[in-house]
């Protein structure tokens, strides 16, 4: 049986950076499931399909192939054979991902792919519903969070470093809107798993957050 660590939490809690580093240290593959929703969102944007139009999004799905490949241990996301790992990181793609992720057909479309990776690999899988829906039997379930202002500041710094001309208020507003969308949708809303461990990284450094995840996982796995 493989070891599965589920890490869920809101946008900007540090999941992608902190969780990736923790996975590396544990020797597990790191699976960023948000990339899958982003790829579906990007497909809709490219094809002029409104990202909240559940009926048309559902109709487009048979034409969509999303695939994760691990190249040198790094996850790359392919959309209909094309590597879109860079393209899925824009603010438009974030919002599109949040929109399409509320559509049940999109969630079931991506479900098997996620389960399959976890069945075949020791992995640390990051998302919104991994511990609650995708991998309810994961040995370790962590809910990684931080205050909205701190998460927005981290996201803002990342975007500025990439050369984006965003304002902090814009980033904070987007983040709050996404938090609301992600935790109020009817299907698989963002919430801590019942038997999950909550880690608040608001006042932890990057290294402290990584250590906390590793300690928590080791404690549970050693039991
Ligand atoms: O983690 P992220 O910011 O890349 O995720 C993008 C969007 O995808 C997010 O707003 C909610 C959605 N998502 C989801 O619904 N379930 C997941 N397991 C991962 C992401």
The structural architecture, per CATH, of the domain 4-222 is 3-Layer(aba) Sandwich (3.40)
- Nearest atom in ligand 1 to 38's CA: 6
What DSSP character marks residue 204? Answer: -
Q: Whose CA is nearest to atom 1 of ligand 1?
A: 34
179 Cβ contact partners less than 8 Å away, ≥ 6 residues apart: 10, 11, 148, 190
Q: Give me ligand 1 centre to Cα 37, in Å.
A: 6
Instruction: Give ligand 1 pocket residues (Cβ under 6 A).
Output: 11, 33-34, 37-38, 94, 97-98, 101, 127-130, 178, 182
Q: Give me ligand 1 centre to Cα 92, in Å.
A: 13
Between 90 and 4, name the one with better pLDDT. Answer: 4
pLDDT digit string (tens) for 27-86? 999 999 999 999 999 999 999 999 999 999 999 999 999 999 998 888 999 999 999 999
Q: Give me ligand 1 centre to Cα 2, in Å.
A: 24
Residue written as tokens 């019942």? Answer: 194
Tokens of 86: 């860079």
Residues 91/83, Cβ–Cβ less than 8 Å: no
Euclidean distance between CA atoms 154 and 175, whole angstroms:
11
Tokens of 66: 């999303």
Euclidean distance between CA atoms 53 and 200, whole angstroms:
35
pLDDT digit string (tens) for 129-166? 999 999 999 999 999 999 999 999 998 998 899 898 89
Is the model's pLDDT at 103 over the cut of 90? yes
Maximum Cα–Cα distance for the chain, whole Å? 51
What DSSP character marks residue 88? Answer: G
Euclidean distance between CA atoms 73 and 63, whole angstroms:
28
Say what the pTM is.
0.91
- The model's confidence at residue 91, banded by pLDDT at 50, 70 and 90, is confident
Please report, for the chain, the start and end positions of each structural domain, with discontinuous segments joined by +: 4-222
| pLDDT value of position 158 | 87
Q: If we measure between CA atoms, which residue out of 110, 99, 106, 98 comes closest to residue 58? A: 106
Number of Cβ within 10 Å of residue 161's Cβ equals 8
Q: Whose CA is nearest to atom 2 of ligand 1?
A: 34
Q: Give me ligand 1 centre to Cα 169, in Å.
A: 21
Q: Give me ligand 1 centre to Cα 127, in Å.
A: 6
Q: Whose CA is nearest to atom 11 of ligand 1?
A: 98
pLDDT digit string (tens) for 202-221? 999 999 999 999 999 999 99
Q: If we measure between CA atoms, which residue out of 104, 101, 111 comes closest to residue 41? A: 101
Residues 143/199, Cβ–Cβ less than 8 Å: yes
| pLDDT value of position 73 | 82
Q: Give me ligand 1 centre to Cα 219, in Å.
A: 28
Segment 110-126 shows an average pLDDT of 96
């Amino acid at each position: 049986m493989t070891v599965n660590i589920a890490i869920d939490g809101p946008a900007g809690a540090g999941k992608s950076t902190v969780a990736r580093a923790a996975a590396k240290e544990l020797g597990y593959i790191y699976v960023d499931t948000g990339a899958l929703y982003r790829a579906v969102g990007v497909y809709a944007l490219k094809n002029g399909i409104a990202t909240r139009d559940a009926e048309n999004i559902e109709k487009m799905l048979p034409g969509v192939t999303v695939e994760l490949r691990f190249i040198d241990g790094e996850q790359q996301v392919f959309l209909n054979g094309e590597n879109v790992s860079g393209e899925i990181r824009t603010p438009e793609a974030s919002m599109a991902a949040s929109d399409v992720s509320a559509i049940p057909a999109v969630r079931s479309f991506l479900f098997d792919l996620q389960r399959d990776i976890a069945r075949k690999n020791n992995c640390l899988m990051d998302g919104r519903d991994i511990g609650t829906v995708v991998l309810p039997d994961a040995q370790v379930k962590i809910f990684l969070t931080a205050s909205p202002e701190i998460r927005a500041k981290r996201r803002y710094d990342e975007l500025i470093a990439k050369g984006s001309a965003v304002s902090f208020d814009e980033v904070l507003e987007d983040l709050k809107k996404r938090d609301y969308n992600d935790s109020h949708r009817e299907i698989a809303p963002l919430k801590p798993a019942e038997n999950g461990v909550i880690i608040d990284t608001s006042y932890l450094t990057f290294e402290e957050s990584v250590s906390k995840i590793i300690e928590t996982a080791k404690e549970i796995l050693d039991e």
